[in-house]
Amino acid sequence: MPPKREATTLIPHLKSVLLDLCHHPYPYVPNPPELNKRASVALIIRINPHYSHWPQPQDYLIKPQPSVHPAHADHAARIEEYLNKDWVQAGTPEVLFIKRASRKGDRWTGHVALPGGRRDPEDADDRAAAVRETEEEVGIVLDDTTCIPIGNLPQRY
């Protein structure tokens, strides 16, 4: 019988990538005036707990960030604290995708995508657009107790 292999986890790799995004954000790319409204999406990663390390209800919540300007928020410390929890270390990361509705004439019809959509004039920034669109499309409220904003992915148009 071969020796029992210890399960490997993606959490240390995920932590490395998230901290790198947090410390080295991609530059902001302004929307060219000749283009329509830009689209913003949310990359939502959750940790599915393993039954052997089931968290208590209070362990799901993320310690809220004190009221500070978002540019000064210590997201890296929050990432460290969350990903170091015992139940998170034993869990499995999952990414949320949506399947777009099938509509005639829509070039994205039926595609698998991240939740998000076009920025509205009332959206303060791209992040606000992604948060609003995510709640509209899948009913997930992305607030300070349920998520940690990491940064942005490379922008393009």
Q: 127-156, pLDDT tens digit by residue?
A: 999 999 999 999 999 988 788 888 887 776
pLDDT at 64: 61
Average pLDDT over residues 71-100: 87
More confident residue, 67 or 21: 21
pLDDT for res 31: 75
Q: What pTM does this model have?
A: 0.79
4 or 106, which is more confident? Answer: 106
Orientation angle between helical segments 75-83 and 11-23, nearest 10 degrees: 180
In the predicted structure, residue 91 carries a pLDDT above the cut 80: yes
Task: Give the pLDDT band (50/70/90) at residue 74.
Answer: confident
Among residues 58, 57, 59, 47, which one has the least CA distance to residue 89? 47
User: Quick one: average pLDDT of 17-43?
Assistant: 84
d(CA 76, CA 137) in angstroms, rounded, equals 28
Q: Say which DSSP state 24 is in.
A: S
Whether pLDDT at 33 is above 90: no
**Domain range list for the chain:** 17-28+39-138
How large is the average pLDDT for residues 93-98?
94
In the chain, alpha helices (H) = 11-23, 57-60, 75-83, 86-89, 126-138
* Residue 36 binned pLDDT confidence (cut-offs 50, 70, 90): confident
Whether 108 shows a pLDDT value over 90: the answer reads: no
How confident is the model over 97-106, as pLDDT tens digits? 999 888 898 8
